[in-house]
Amino acid sequence: MGSGKHLELLLVHCQGELGHVLVGGAPEIPGATMLDKMNHINDVDDSLRRFVTFEPRANAAMSVNLLVKPTRPDADAGFIVLQADRAHPMSGSNCICVVTALLESGLVSMVEPETTVRLDTPAGLIVARARCENGHCIGVSLDNVASFAELLDHEIETFEWGRIKVDIAFGGVYYALVDVSQVGLTIAPENARGLAEAGIELKRLIAEQVKVSHPTLPGVDEIAYVMFRSNEPDGAVRTCTTLQPGRVDRSPCGTGSSANLATLHARGLLSVGEARISRSIIGREFLAEAIGVTEIGGRRAVLPRLTGRGYVYGRTELRVQNDDPFITGFALSDTWGPQVGLLK
C-alpha cells in the first residue's frame, strides 16, 4: 500500500457483530479467482489485512470485508473476510453486512420490495435476497455454500476438561462444534470471557489432533473456529462462536449455524424444509433452513439458507502514511485477551 492512499469504509453491524465494508481505495489483490486472492492475502502479502484489523485503526471485536471485483460472470460483487488472524472464505454475518452496504450505498441498484445480489466469495457463489423498503434493507436471506459434517462425536483429549466430544463440520469455513456443558459453562453474557478463553484453548488442542482439508477448495485446510452450542427450551440453538485471539461472536454466526445444520442432518435430526433458530450470546437471532441436499467430494451435504439483518450506521476514511510507526498494527492482551501472541 502506497503512502497517501485513502481507504473508505462503511460501518456496518449484523445483529451486533461489526462487519465493516471496505468500499474504496484498497490495492488490487492478485489472483484469478476469489480463492486465489484470499490465499494471496494469507500466504504472500497480509499488509492490508493487518492495517485494517489491528489497533490503532480497529478493535478486537470486528471484521473488515474487502470488496473485490467479481472473478466470475454470474456475480454482482465479490468480497473477502479480513479478521485479526487471517483472511477467511465466508461468514454469514459479514455477508449480510456486505449485501446491506452494497444496496444502501447504491453500489448495487436496489429494487423494492426485493433485490437479488450474487456474491463471489472464496467459498463459492452466495445468492442473497434482500427485502427492501424505503431505501433500506430490512432483512437478508443467504443461500450458503454446501455444508457437511466431517466428524461426529469425535473425542479430544484436554487437560482441563478431560475427554470431550466435538463435531467437525464445514459451513463456509471449518468449525469444531462443542456442546457447552462439557466445559462447565453456559452461553450467557457474563461468561463471554470464559467462553472465549475456552474456545481458543480448544482450537489449539483440536488443531493438534484433527486435520481437515476441503475436497474442492485448496488452502481451506484449518478449523477456523470453535462454536459452543446448547438447546433452548423453545427449540432454538444457542450459539457462541469463539474467534482469535480470544473473543466471542456477537451474532448467531451464519457459517457456524450452517455447520450445525449439517450435523443435525447427518444425524437424521433435520430434514429438507426444516429450520432452526440460532440465538446469539446477546439474544439476537438468525433463521437457518435446510433448502436442499447435494454431494461434495463424496460427502453428503446440506444446502443452508440463513436470514438476518444488517445496519449501516456510519462511514469512515483511513489514511495510509508509510511513516506511521504502527503501519502494521498492534494488539495488546488487556483488550485482545491472553492469546494475542497467536496472531500472525
Yes or no: say if 145 and 172 are a contact pair by the CB < 8 Å rule: yes
Whether 137 is a known active-site residue: answer no
What's the rounded Cα separation, in Å, for the pair 1 and 211? 35
Work out whether the CA dihedral 148, 231, 285, 91 comes out positive or negative: negative
What's the rounded Cα separation, in Å, for the pair 4 and 57? 16
In three-state secondary structure terms, 206 is: helix
Active-site residue identified among 14, 63, 91, 141:
91
| E strand map for 15-55 | 17-24
Work out whether the CA dihedral 51, 52, 53, 58 comes out positive or negative: positive
What's the rounded Cα separation, in Å, for the pair 36 and 123? 11
Whether 240 is a known active-site residue: answer no
Among candidates 207, 220, 85, which has minimal Cα distance to 147?
220
Active-site residue identified among 14, 253, 258, 280:
253
List residues with catalytic annotation: 91, 253
